[in-house]
């Protein structure tokens, strides 16, 4: 598809960033995620008795998980925070009150393997499920922006263990346990249980039926409240940035014309890396869920003049990631939502939100 070279002059809008789509012909196009079915408010733990069963867990483990959730409820912790707390306890002790440490921490004790350094109370506190959970949760709540971090990174901010991704494999089990021990069921999509990038379930772009700049004749009526042309890759990506940073309605926090501190527009896809640099936000070469995917002009089949941006929806274990975006396919499927699986080495860079971190 030949890219359009029509530009707008004087208006605070971005020129379209289209994908040629040819190099991606070998990539798998995935269906949108299933819509959310429930919110994820505060989880309320139930009393664990002999009739409470969760496959793979003993009564002792279930009681310890319930104690963590109860401490969370007392501290007004969201269900996601309770899941993070249970996840960390799974990763540290297998939800057991251990009276032993390990090589890295011989004095570590309890559900969270808390050290005898004065920060976690007395030996009795560390060996008590409720008090040790309370101390962990209070430390978690003191981490600025923990709700926007991947669960494993949030846990690592408290525990400060060597591998920040140590807890990642325990997240699904933590979700299962909190759901099983709660009087409500929660969805991980479209809720505060979602990790960055999954705050929307599939195509939740609010202006999906608005006219494109081609249809509207490239006038100001074709620009969204974000200051980008409707249904372009840049408008969807900036919507996701706003959404993940808690700005889901007007007045939006991040706009094309006010994003950069130097007064320049964020602009078309080609200038987004420079926009991130000007704002001092981190970039890197590792996909993180919720990061903006940046293709320099011509990279990976991107438009040779404007490049392309998308958003990381999921990261796979085989060296690929799933990206979502708008206007990433040739006509007649252009200016619409798409997902596809891409090799990690294809994009030029990943642009992170302030609370996202690149795995070292």
What letter does residue 307 receive in the DSSP assignment? B
| Cα→Cα distances 22→48, 54, 157, 309, 325, Å | 56, 48, 42, 16, 17
Q: For 23-35+196-351, CATH number?
A: 3.90.1720.10
The answer to whether the beta carbons of residues 68 and 86 sit under 8 Å apart is yes
Do 110 and 127 contact (CB within 8 A), yes or no? yes
Residues with Cβ within 8 Å of 81's Cβ and at least 6 positions away in sequence, in order, are 72, 137, 140, 141, 146, 147
Q: Quote the pLDDT of residue 34.
A: 32
Q: Are 101 and 114 in contact (CB under 8 A)?
A: no
Distance (Å, whole) CA 342 – CA 200: 20
pLDDT at residue 14 in the model: 41
CB of 175 closer than 8 Å to CB of 92: no
In this prediction, residue 356 carries a pLDDT of 60
Confidence (pLDDT) at 2: 25
pLDDT at residue 45 in the model:
73
Could you tell me the residue ranges of all domains in the chain? 23-35+196-351, 59-180
pLDDT tens for the 360 residues of the chain, in order: 222 222 222 223 443 333 333 333 223 222 233 333 345 667 777 778 777 889 999 999 999 999 999 999 999 998 889 999 999 999 999 999 999 998 888 999 999 999 999 999 999 999 999 999 999 999 999 987 787 677 888 899 999 988 888 998 898 899 899 989 987 666 554 455 655 544 455 788 999 999 888 876 656 668 999 999 999 999 999 999 988 887 888 899 899 999 999 999 999 999 999 999 999 899 999 998 889 999 999 998 888 999 999 999 888 888 899 899 999 988 888 999 999 999 999 999 999 987 665 444
Predicted local confidence at residue 10, as pLDDT? 24
Q: Where are the alpha helices (DSSP H) in 192-328?
A: 213-216, 233-244, 272-279
Q: What is the pLDDT of residue 313?
A: 86
């Amino acid at each position: 598809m030949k890219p359009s070279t029509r530009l707008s002059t004087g208006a605070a809008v971005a020129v379209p960033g289209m994908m040629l789509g040819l190099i991606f012909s070998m990539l798998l196009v995935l269906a949108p995620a299933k819509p959310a079915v429930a919110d994820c408010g505060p989880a309320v733990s139930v009393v664990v008795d002999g009739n409470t069963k969760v496959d793979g867990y003993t009564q002792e483990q279930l009681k310890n998980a319930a104690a963590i959730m109860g401490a969370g409820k007392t501290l007004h912790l969201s269900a996601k925070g309770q899941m993070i707390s249970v996840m960390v306890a799974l990763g540290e002790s297998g939800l057991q009150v251990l009276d032993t440490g390990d090589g890295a921490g011989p004095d570590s004790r309890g559900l969270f393997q808390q050290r005898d350094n004065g920060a976690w109370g007395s030996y009795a506190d560390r060996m008590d499920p409720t008090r040790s959970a309370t101390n962990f949760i209070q430390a978690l709540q003191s981490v600025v922006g923990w709700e926007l971090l991947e669960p494993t990174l949030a846990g690592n901010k408290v525990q400060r263990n060597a591998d920040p991704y140590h807890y990642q494999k325990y997240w699904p089990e933590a979700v299962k346990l909190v759901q099983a021990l709660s009087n409500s069921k929660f969805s991980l999509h479209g809720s505060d249980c979602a990790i960055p990038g999954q705050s929307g379930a599939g195509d939740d772009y609010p202006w999906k039926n608005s006219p494109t700049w081609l249809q509207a004749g490239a006038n100001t009526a074709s620009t969204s409240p974000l200051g980008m042309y409707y249904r372009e890759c840049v408008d969807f990506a900036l919507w996701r940035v706003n959404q993940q940073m808690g700005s889901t309605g007007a007045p939006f926090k991040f706009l094309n014309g006010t994003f950069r501190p130097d007064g320049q527009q964020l602009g078309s896809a080609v200038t987004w890396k420079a926009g991130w640099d000007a704002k001092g936000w981190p970039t890197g070469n590792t996909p993180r869920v919720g990061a903006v995917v940046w293709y320099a002009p011509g990279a990976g089949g991107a438009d040779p003049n404007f490049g392309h941006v998308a958003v990381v929806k999921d990261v796979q274990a085989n060296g690929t990631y799933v990206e979502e975006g708008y206007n990433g396919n040739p006509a007649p499927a252009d200016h619409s939502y798409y997902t596809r699986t891409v090799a990690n080495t294809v994009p030029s860079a990943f642009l992170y939100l302030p609370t996202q971190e690149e795995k070292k």
